[in-house]
Structures are given as C-alpha cells and as structure tokens.
C-alpha cells in the first residue's frame, strides 16, 4: 500500500473463536474431527482456533505492522472471540434437548458462563502480550454469550446514563465486563469503569481517538439478531442502544468528527443460505439512523460470516423502504465491510486485515481531522499448501480498475466493483467477479459452504449481486424476481427484434428483387412500331 505522512493504520481481527479444548475430547468440531490428540498443533479445517493458531496470527500481525510506516492506532475484534458451543460442554447429553430459556436457568448455566469468561480473559491476555500498548476495541458476538444468542438485559427502562446495577447483577454482560476489564497486569485494559453504564446495560461502548477527531462505536448486534432471546422488555430499542447511538452520532456531527461503527452481526443476509441476520424492525431503525448521519459515518465493519465480503446500497435506493417486501440497503456513503475469520471451521483459510485510513484531498479546513478508509491488505494462513502466512492481496491492486485513492473504500468504489461483476464476456464471469469469489474464503477452495472451485453461471451471479445489495431476505427474493423478469423481458424483446430484423431483411430483399426483375423486363422487350402505335391508340380511346 502506498503511504503518506497523514495516513494511519489499524488491525482487524474477526471470529477468532479461540478453543483451548482443541485436540481434546472437549474440542468443538463441525465434522467430529477436532477431538483427536494427534491433530496438527496449528489447527485444522473444520475446527475452531487452537492457541497455536491464535498466537501465530498475532505474531504475524506484529511482523506486518513492523514494516508499516507507523504503529497501528488501534486494533478491532469484531466479535465471536470465544469458540462455538461453549454451553455444550456442560449439558448432560443424555437428557432431552431443552430450549434457550431452560438452558439459561439450568444448573449448567453459571459454570458455562464462568468458563466463557475465562476463555475471553485468556484471549485478551494473549493479545496484550503481542500488543501491550495498543488500544484494543472488542465487540460482543453471539458465541461470546452463553447460551448462543441468549442475553438477558437488566434495568432496560431506566434512563440512559443511570444504572444502579453492579457487575455481579447483570449476568453474562458482567462476566464479559470482568474478563475485558482486567487490571491485574500492566497491560491496557480493554474496558474501563467509564464503560460500565453502557456495557452493563447492553454490551456497547465507544472510544475517542486522535484527540476526539475519530469515534469508534462498538455495537452489540446480538440484541437485533433474528435468533436473539429472550424477548426484551423494551423491544423497540433493546438496552436503549439505538438511543445511545443517535446521541453519539449527533455529538460527532456537532464537533465535526467522523465515526467508525463496528459490530459482529451485520444488518444484511448471508451469502450461503441467504438467511436474514437482523429482525426487520431493527434493520429499518439502523439504516434510518445511518442515513440521517451519512456525512458522519465513514465505515461500518462487521464479521459473523467467516468470509471476505462487502455489502453496498443501490443508487436507486435513496432511503430505507418501509415495505418489507422491497427492503434493500439504502444508498449510503460508506459500505458494509465484512471481515474474514481467524477460525478455519468453515473450510476457509484463517485471515486478518491491516487497514489504512487517513485524510486525502478535500476541504483543507478538515485536512487534519476528516478521515476515510483508504485501503487494506489481507493476510491469510494457507493451511493446505504452504502452511505459512502470506499477503493474500491488497484491495487497491485487486480492484485496480475500480479504485482511486480519493474514493478509497467508499460505496462509490464498491458500486463500481459490483458493476464490473455484472459484466459477462462470452457467457463467462468477469475478471472482477472471479477475483472476488477467489478470495471470499481467503484463498481456500472446495469448501462445502462455498463451491468457489466451480464456475458461476448466470443464476449464481444474480444471487451474488442480490446478496450484496439486500438488507433482508424479502429484498433478496424480490431482487432475484426483478432481475430474472428483466432478463426474460430482454430476451423477449431480443426475439421480437430479431424477427423484426428478419422481416425487414426479407421485405427489403423482395423489393430489390422486384426492382431488378422490372429492369430486366424493360431491357429485354424492344417495342415495335405497331406496338407503340397500338398503345397510343389504346390510350386515346
């Protein structure tokens, strides 16, 4: 990545899914292969991340930033730091399966929560070993709470800013707070006492950087998830996170600074099953807020998919449509960037990003204060081949024909990429689309969740395009119908046009032949005197 003195960097990890039980009988496995003692120390596809893989990723990040012009300003971890199925360690599997509420109130619950807290604390300690002085900002993911997607909130109806609960009173959020507020070492704690009133209420908090010129909002997106339980008391705004978010965005606009939003579960659909991640009402509330403060929000960074993707609004969508049948991502200045995972559980290679941001061009009044995301490098551990960490690609190089430094990682750039994806040459996918699909799983191929080793036909391409621009499943379904109707209509018009052309050519050919026949008749018949006179007499009659 090219650099200038005004450019800065941050590291981005997501979906680490640290599993200290890897290669033991308690190791979490997608395919029942992760509890064998003879497994590779560094990890294996289909398993969550052992400590060796976690340390390898962090050490590689240290080496990467050592070659950068400056140290990273901060590190973000966009959720799911803890392995899958933490609660399953403590369930009696001979019992009849129970629902979330029963599990959360079972004798296993407290032990599972406590263990999850220890895993989070251990991961935080390891990360601090490699980056002891760097600001670390962590978001809560659905696997960071026990049971998965289950999070009871306390004092939801109390006024924002007033919270009388102690850490011990708030269950899972208290456990996570203790794990991330570890002052037992000289390392910089991830959470502080100042975060209590928001984190204990709903698992969210903020950070101000660069003398207040940049604000990071770490959202708890578990509260909006389609699978979230239990039903919150204040269902319109669980934990009053939206109210807090609006106040923070308003404050940022007032003091003329920019905001980066980070979270775990993105307000969109998945690219594998195309399931919707957020409930409809929360999707609309979120995008309405982002639209209102579109000039303030410079980035929306999420994880959860374990894949290297993005989402961007269609220019035709100027505002969030209230009709749930047509909900697409609105046309915003900043796209949704979705980070790859460290865990290789879904057949992907482990990966992380080094992101460049800074002030480029624009109004001199804000030259030192207005930031934008400019570029990033993706680093991946190639598990099946070299078994080393390598730079997989640089965004500005991979999408060179769509990229310019003034736009950086903006929605305009992403829309240009989508347009290039749609181009088809001799019914083959475009080079841009091939590049995108090649790196969705961070260079891994043959994943059961991907199918990226095979060609992508017209239907496959349309599904990808609709996935990228959709906020809800209804939006995705209607996008497909609309595109297929347009394609069929275009085919129909093409057939009509072809018939019209054939008809026109036939008519033209007939006229030409008639004219040629007429000319030949004139030249071949020489009129006699009698014939001419007779014709004259006939006319006179």
* pLDDT of the residue at 485: 77
* pTM listed for this prediction: 0.86
Helix (H, G, I), strand (E, B) or coil at 280: helix
| 254 pLDDT above the threshold of 90 | yes
* Pair 417, 436: CB distance under 8 Å: yes
| 361, 34 contact by CB (below 8 A) | no
State residue 199's pLDDT score: 94
Mean pLDDT over 108-126 rounds to 93
**Region 149-153: what's the mean pLDDT?**
93
Per-residue pLDDT band at 456 (split at 50, 70, 90): confident
Per-residue pLDDT at 373: 97
Query: Which of 253-262, 320-329, 412-421 shows the lowest per-residue confidence on average (mean pLDDT)?
Result: 320-329
- Tokens in use for 500? 């019209």
Lowest mean per-residue pLDDT among 201-210, 407-416, 495-504: 495-504
216-236: pLDDT as tens digits? 999 999 999 999 999 888 899
Confidence class for position 524, pLDDT limits 50, 70, 90? low
Highest mean pLDDT of the ranges 321-325, 338-342, 403-407, 437-441: 338-342
Give residue 42's pLDDT band: very low, low, confident or very high (50, 70, 90).
very high
Work out the pLDDT band at 447, boundaries 50, 70, 90: very low
Across 493-515, average pLDDT = 65
**Percentage of the chain modeled with pLDDT above 70:** 78
CB 117 within 8 A of CB 176: yes
Residue in 9, 16, 11, 73 with CA at minimum distance from that of residue 306: 16
Three-class secondary structure of residue 45 per DSSP: coil
- Residue 376, pLDDT > 80, answer yes
Over range 74-103, report the average pLDDT: 79
C-alpha pair distances (Å), 512 with each of 331, 500, 517, 519: 55, 18, 9, 11
pLDDT higher at 182 or 442: 442
425's enclosing H/E stretch is strand 424-425
Helix, strand, or coil here: 541?
coil
SS3 302: strand
CB 42 within 8 A of CB 53: yes
Q: Is the pLDDT of residue 300 over 90?
A: yes
Is the predicted pLDDT of residue 270 greater than 80, yes or no? yes
Q: Cis (ω within 30 of 0) for the bond into 147?
A: yes
Whole-angstrom distance, CA of residue 216 vs CA of residue 204: 11
| 215 pLDDT higher than 80 | yes
**Could you tell me which of 124, 17, 26 has the C-alpha nearest to residue 80?**
17
The secondary structure element, H or E, covering residue 258 is strand 258-262
Q: In this predicted structure, what is the pLDDT of residue 534?
A: 43
Least confident of 133-147, 374-388, 437-451: 437-451
**What does the pLDDT read at residue 348?**
94
- The answer, yes or no, to whether residue 266 has pLDDT greater than 80, is yes
pLDDT of residue 386: 75
Average pLDDT across the chain, whole number: 85
Question: Rounded to whole angstroms, how far apart are CA atoms 203 and 227?
Answer: 17
Beta carbons of 83 and 119 less than 8 angstroms apart: yes
Quick one: tokens of 422? 């749609």
Domain 9-471: CATH class, spelled out = alpha beta
- The confidence score (pLDDT) of residue 364 equals 45
| Mean pLDDT comparison of 307-316, 388-397, 436-445, 493-502, highest-scoring range | 388-397
Is pLDDT of 203 > 80? Answer: yes
Closest CA to 450 of 306, 337, 267: 306
In the 8-state DSSP scheme, what is residue 86? G
Confidence of residue 491 (pLDDT cuts 50, 70, 90): low
Residues 6 or more apart whose Cβ sits within 8 Å of residue 536: none
Residue 101 has pLDDT above 70, yes or no: no
Band of pLDDT at residue 73, cut at 50, 70 and 90 = very high
Residue 256 CA to residue 531 CA, distance in Å, equals 101
- pLDDT value of residue 366: 41
Closest alpha carbon to 389 in 404, 402, 398, 379: 379
In eight-state DSSP terms, residue 82 is B
**48 pLDDT exceeds 90?**
yes
* pLDDT, mean of residues 104-115: 81
- Region 197-214: mean pLDDT is 94
DSSP string, 134-180: SEEEE---GGGSSSTTB---S-TTSPTT-----GGGSTHHHHHHHHH
Cβ atoms of 303 and 180 closer than 8 Å:
no
């Amino acid at each position: 990545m090219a650099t200038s003195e005004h450019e800065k960097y941050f590291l981005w990890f997501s979906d680490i899914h640290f599993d200290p039980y890897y290669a033991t009988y308690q190791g979490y496995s997608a395919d029942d292969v992760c509890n064998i003692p003879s497994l590779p120390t560094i990890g294996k596809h289909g398993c969550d991340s052992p400590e060796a893989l976690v340390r390898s990723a962090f050490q590689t990040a240290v080496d990467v930033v050592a070659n950068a012009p400056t140290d990273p300003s901060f590190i973000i971890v966009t959720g799911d730091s803890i392995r899958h199925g933490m609660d399953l360690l403590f369930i009696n599997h001979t019992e009849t399966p129970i629902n979330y509420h029963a599990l959360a109130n079972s004798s296993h619950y407290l032990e599972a929560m406590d263990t999850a807290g220890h895993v989070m604390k251990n991961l935080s300690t390891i990360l601090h070993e490699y980056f002891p002085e760097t600001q670390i900002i962590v978001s809560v993911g659905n696997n960071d709470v026990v049971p998965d997607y289950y999070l009871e909130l306390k004092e939801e109806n109390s006024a924002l800013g007033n919270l009388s609960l102690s850490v011990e009173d708030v269950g899972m959020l208290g456990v996570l707070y203790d794990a991330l507020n570890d002052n037992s070492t000289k390392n910089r704690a991830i959470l502080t006492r100042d975060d209590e009133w928001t984190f204990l209420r709903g698992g969210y908090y903020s950070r101000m950087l660069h003398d207040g010129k940049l604000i990071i909002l770490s959202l708890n997106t578990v509260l909006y998830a389609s699978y979230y339980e239990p039903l919150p008391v204040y269902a319109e705004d669980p934990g009053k996170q939206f109210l807090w978010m609006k106040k923070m965005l308003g404050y940022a606009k007032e003091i003329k600074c920019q905001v980066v939003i980070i979270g775990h579960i993105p307000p969109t659909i998945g690219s594998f099953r195309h399931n919707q991640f957020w409930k409809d009402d929360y999707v609309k509330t979120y995008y309405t807020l982002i639209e209102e403060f579109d000039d303030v929000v410079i980035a929306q960074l999420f994880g959860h998919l374990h894949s290297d993707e993005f989402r961007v609004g269609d220019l035709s969508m100027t505002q969030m449509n209230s009709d749930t049948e047509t909900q697409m991502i609105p046309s915003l200045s900043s796209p949704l960037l979705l980070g790859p995972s460290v865990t290789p559980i879904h057949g992907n290679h482990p990966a992380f990003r080094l992101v460049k941001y800074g002030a480029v061009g624009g109004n001199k009044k804000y030259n030192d204060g207005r930031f934008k995301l400019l570029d990033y490098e993706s680093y991946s551990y190639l598990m099946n081949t070299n078994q080393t960490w390598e730079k997989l690609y640089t965004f500005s190089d991979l999408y060179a024909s769509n990229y310019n430094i003034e736009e950086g990682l903006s929605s305009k750039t992403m829309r240009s990429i989508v347009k290039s994806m749609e181009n088809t040459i001799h019914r083959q996918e475009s080079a841009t689309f091939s590049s995108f699909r090649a790196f969705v799983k961070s260079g891994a191929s043959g994943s059961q969740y991907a199918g990226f080793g095979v060609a992508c036909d017209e239907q496959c391409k349309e599904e990808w395009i609709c996935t990228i621009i959709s906020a809800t499943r209804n939006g995705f379904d209607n996008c497909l119908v609309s595109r297929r109707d347009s394609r069929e209509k275009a085919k129909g018009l093409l057939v009509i046009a072809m018939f019209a052309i054939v008809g026109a050519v036939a008519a033209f050919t007939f006229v030409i032949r008639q004219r040629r026949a007429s000319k030949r008749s004139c030249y071949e018949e020489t009129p006699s005197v009698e014939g001419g006179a007779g014709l004259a007499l006939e006319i006179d009659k």
